[in-house]
């Protein structure tokens, strides 16, 4: 029964806007008041909804610039959504191409650095080192600087580090698309192991074969919108159908279509978002209200802090006066 499974990630009407303003002060203003008027905004995500349970391996597909990476960056905690609600039960680990490795350090040193950043102790790392090195299949290259690695080798190393951090939720952004067949098999086996342990995996790839092989559910994102979510077979078939329709268009039609979609992402606004939310019958009136307002930025400085700050400043100035004038 799916009801018995534990909810791992729940996204409710997640939006992300990138403002098209150029200066930094415009950006800061947009952050302080994200749904306000002001410089034009681009809605990279226009309200994404999904629930993912433990043991789910979820593929995310969509054309370039559809918002896949933005969604993953939000899931991994790098970016904050502009509105909506995201609940994550567990720790996430994200793997990207290049995998945030440092070029001047060797493979082995990168393993240590990343593990330290994940909060491991040196002793724990020593114990795990051989296993990670072994899994990465890099052989003698493990002691070479990472800048000499091929992209496939980098992705092997990144994947090996990420899976050995034992995350609850693993997020893989295209990182396996450059690996060879042998390593893909190994990665697949590891991912199945994770699945059996009740971990959750998000998997982004442009290779439909890999998505079919690796995942059992798929989310299709198109121009900031969630087109569909369901069993991988079904969604991938629909997506491929759409893709071959799109390929069949003439060059002018193609670019017109893209322009039209992008224009929709600029003209989208909070009223449209609110309308959409209000049509959702599963939500209470209170939830609707909450989800259609943007997330407040941090707290204002509380009164007590103002008082302390003011007192400290006065004291500071007085002390300087005393010392400078009378020694």
Interface residue list for other proteins (CB under 8 A) = 18, 24, 27-28, 31, 73, 76-80, 91-94, 100, 102, 104-105, 109, 112-113, 116-119, 121-122, 297-299, 301-302, 304-305, 308-309, 312-313, 315-316, 319-320, 322-325, 327
Of 229, 224, 222, 220, nearest in space to 268 by CA? 224
Of 97, 99, 153, nearest in space to 143 by CA? 153
Cβ count near 66 (within 10 Å): 22
Shortest CB 9 distance to other proteins, Å: 15
Shortest CB 301 distance to other proteins, Å: 5
Shortest CB 160 distance to other proteins, Å: 17
Shortest CB 245 distance to other proteins, Å: 35
Q: Which is nearer to other proteins, 66 or 93 (CB)?
A: 93
Residue carrying the six token digits 């193609």 = 254
Q: Which is nearer to other proteins, 20 or 31 (CB)?
A: 31
Which residue blocks in the chain are alpha helix, DSSP H? Answer: 24-32, 68-75, 107-117, 122-136, 151-164, 181-196, 208-214, 232-248, 251-267, 270-278, 285-292, 303-326
Q: Which is nearer to other proteins, 123 or 247 (CB)?
A: 123
Q: Which is nearer to other proteins, 92 or 232 (CB)?
A: 92
Shortest CB 256 distance to other proteins, Å: 31
- How far, in whole angstroms, is CA 197 from its chain's centroid? 22
Of 65, 81, 98, nearest in space to 174 by CA? 98
Q: Which is nearer to other proteins, 189 or 311 (CB)?
A: 311
Q: Could you tell me which residues are beta bridge partners of residue 221?
A: 226
H or E element that contains 51:
strand 41-53
Shortest CB 138 distance to other proteins, Å: 19
Which residue blocks in 33-76 are alpha helix, DSSP H? Answer: 68-75
Q: Could you tell me which residues are beta bridge partners of residue 274?
A: none
Q: Which is nearer to other proteins, 286 or 299 (CB)?
A: 299
Residue carrying the six token digits 């693993």 = 170
């Amino acid at each position: 029964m799916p009801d018995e499974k534990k909810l791992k990630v729940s996204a409710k009407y997640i939006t992300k806007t990138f403002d098209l303003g150029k200066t930094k002060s415009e950006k800061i203003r947009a952050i302080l008041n994200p749904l306000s008027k002001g410089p034009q905004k681009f809605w990279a995500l226009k309200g994404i909804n999904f629930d993912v349970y433990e043991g789910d391996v979820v593929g995310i597909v969509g054309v370039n610039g559809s918002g896949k990476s933005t969604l993953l960056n939000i899931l991994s905690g790098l970016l904050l959504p502009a509105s909506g609600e995201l609940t994550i039960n567990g720790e996430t680990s994200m793997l990207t191409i290049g995998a945030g490795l440092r070029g001047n350090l060797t493979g082995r040193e990168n393993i240590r650095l990343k593990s330290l950043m994940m909060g491991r102790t040196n002793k724990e790392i020593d114990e795990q080192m051989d296993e990670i090195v072994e899994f990465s299949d890099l052989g003698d290259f493990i002691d070479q600087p990472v800048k000499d690695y091929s992209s496939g080798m980098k992705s092997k190393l990144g994947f090996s580090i990420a899976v050995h951090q034992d995350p609850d939720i693993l997020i893989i952004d295209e990182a396996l698309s450059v690996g060879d067949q042998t390593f893909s098999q190994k990665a697949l086996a590891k991912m199945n192991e994770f699945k059996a342990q009740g971990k959750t995996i998000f998997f982004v790839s442009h290779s439909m074969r890999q998505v079919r092989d690796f995942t059992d559910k798929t989310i299709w994102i198109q121009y900031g919108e969630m087109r569909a979510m369901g069993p991988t077979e079904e969604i991938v078939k629909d997506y491929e159908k759409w893709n071959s329709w799109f390929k069949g268009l003439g060059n002018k039609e193609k670019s017109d279509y893209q322009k039209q979609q992008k224009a929709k992402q600029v003209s989208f606004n909070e009223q449209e978002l609110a309308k959409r939310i209000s049509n959702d019958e599963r939500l209470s009136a209170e939830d609707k209200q909450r989800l259609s307002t943007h997330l407040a930025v941090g707290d204002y400085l509380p009164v007590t802090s103002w008082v302390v700050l003011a007192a400290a400043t006065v004291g500071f100035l007085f002390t300087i006066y005393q010392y400078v004038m009378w020694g």
